[in-house]
Structure 1
């Protein structure tokens, strides 16, 4: 009597079996390896996490403690930026642990979404800060709705709502099955819809980058055209250099990631099919993503160096001179110093 064939002897195509691999189960035959990432990423993310938690905790404490009576639009944007950076670094311990370990599919997806929501929140809040500075410096006699505290609060809430709603489609995205599905934060094949959405986000980022360049070029031109005494010429050059700190950090942290993102998504769509290219893009994508997370540590540096009030507030707070802190935050500022003042 001829027995029924077992599943192993049916000769079925392996793709059917691959499709049934659970996202929660590790895959031992992943063709793309982490290589140096298994060492570099845990160390880098650990350093960023520690520095980010400390610096952003101090920033939030200073904003809450010392600016409650002098709330302005720029304070609202900077406080939300600090919140976004703080929440982002909270994701890093899980990214560190699950970088080399399989994890529950829903947990990995949620942590990934949470990470990107806060990363793009940082980008948009830097954009709002730059727009606020641009309008106040180039057109100081006009008052725009963004300068009103109530409107700035509405703008920040809209950013959070937009990003949360915008991330929801990625939870329902059906990825193509692959040999690396068991790994939490790893190369995943994408559907056409998912890949298109990712490339659309990259395109929006580059449009925002062009706005950044436009803002800061016009700010620099405005400062250069100001007629001030020879004694203040050196200070004006310092102010111009400080103006470009935000732009420099923005480009350093976020531009490499979005440049690499284009070929990386194409490889996820299998438009780029060479295995060696996919391996290289996987390594490059994870490294530049780590660089983007570094922004959470650099934003408090922006507060410190661009805002004289923030810098003096921190120094006086740690020295216990709370009365002097209150006095400093009540003083007015001149137009030339408005670039570095909150």
Structure 2
């Protein structure tokens, strides 16, 4: 978590470094701007639907559903500022919104990323308990405990990122206002330590749960085949999100921190590091669009609700053209809902 450190974020400090200041051409800005708009639309619709479905579910909720509910909240809290990032690129790398929105954008960026990391780790842990200790874990796999864990994670992440809300985050560079949390984060060794502490535990916990589940299923778990497949799909998708959305960013940031500013690095190499930082930072936003797939595979009630919505729409459309088929469609809806 780069915000743990208090050093001034990366800015060119001399003529040599100014010559190597990250440059974003018109094509790059158009691609990044369009990308953020697309992710915004996908993530907003997917997570809004998830939050609506989770909030309407009745009866006892499973721990996995609780973690996924909090994950949807984390995604939506960041999705709302994606249009600001798109505007930054579409205006040629200029931040027109001022100091406070820049602070909020950086704060929500890190809160979403690390809250998502740990909620996904919690989902993996819950799948591990459900598969390996299906009976013995019933006492601790309760929604109440899942809520306690979730709110504790919110407090931890929010407090850790709070310094971003009280420190200056904008600067004037080459006649334009830049938001330092957009690809110009701190490049200090202390930031490297914070980065490792924030990412490594969640990643290792998720990876360990995945491997232990594979080992348990390989030995011959008594779990029903359908549940085995669902568990594998959920953990596999979670690992896919880690590898695609989060791992590249943290590897790139570590490389950037270790390499940027070294006197022996060429200007071309420094600009390459800066471009990799921008690309991998944009990938972290993709998790908001991919997380609804975790809800679909990992939450049975969510999947059933989506199926009912789809079947209802299909029945309504068919009913408008043929009233004689009403009974047939109602039977189809009932059968698919049970599935």
Q: TM-score interval w.r.t. the shorter chain?
A: 0.7 to 0.9
1:221 to 215, 218, 225: 215
| Alpha-carbon displacement from aligned partner over 1:243-278 (angstroms, at most 9, x marks no partner) | 42221222111111111010223356x346643222
The number of residues matched between the two structures is: 296
What pairs up with 1:155-304 in 2 under 5 angstroms? 155-171=149-165, 179=173, 182-184=177-179, 186-188=182-184, 190=186, 192=188, 195-226=189-220, 240=232, 243-266=235-258, 270-271=261-262, 274-304=266-296
Q: CA deviation at 1:283?
A: 1.2
Worse overlay, 198-207 or 131-140 = 198-207
1:101 to 91, 94, 100: 94
Corresponding residue SS for 1:182 = strand
- The CA distance in 2 between the partners of 1:93 and 1:176, in whole Å, is 18
Corresponding residue SS for 2:23 = coil
User: Relative to structure 1, is the Cα distance of residues 158 and 43 closer, same or farther in structure 2, using a 3 angstrom cutoff?
Assistant: same
Q: CA deviation at 1:40?
A: 1.7
Runs (5+) with no aligned partner, structure 1 = 1-17, 20-27, 332-342
Corresponding residue SS for 2:94 = coil
2:121 to 110, 127, 131: 127
CA RMSD of aligned residues (A): 3.4
What pairs up with 1:137-148 in 2 under 5 angstroms? 137-143=131-137, 146-148=140-142
CA contact (8 A) 1:198 1:265 kept: yes
User: Relative to structure 1, is the Cα distance of residues 85 and 235 closer, same or farther in structure 2, using a 3 angstrom cutoff?
Assistant: closer
Runs (5+) with no aligned partner, structure 2 = 1-11, 313-329
1:49 corresponds in structure 2 to 40
CA contact (8 A) 1:261 1:285 kept: yes
- Structure 1 runs (4+) deviating above 6 angstroms are 174-178, 232-235
Q: Give me the TM-score of the superposition, normalised by structure 2.
A: 0.75
- The CA distance in 2 between the partners of 1:234 and 1:77, in whole Å, is 22
Corresponding residue SS for 2:307 = helix
Corresponding residue SS for 1:33 = coil
Q: CA deviation at 1:238?
A: 7.7
Higher Cα Rg, which structure? 1
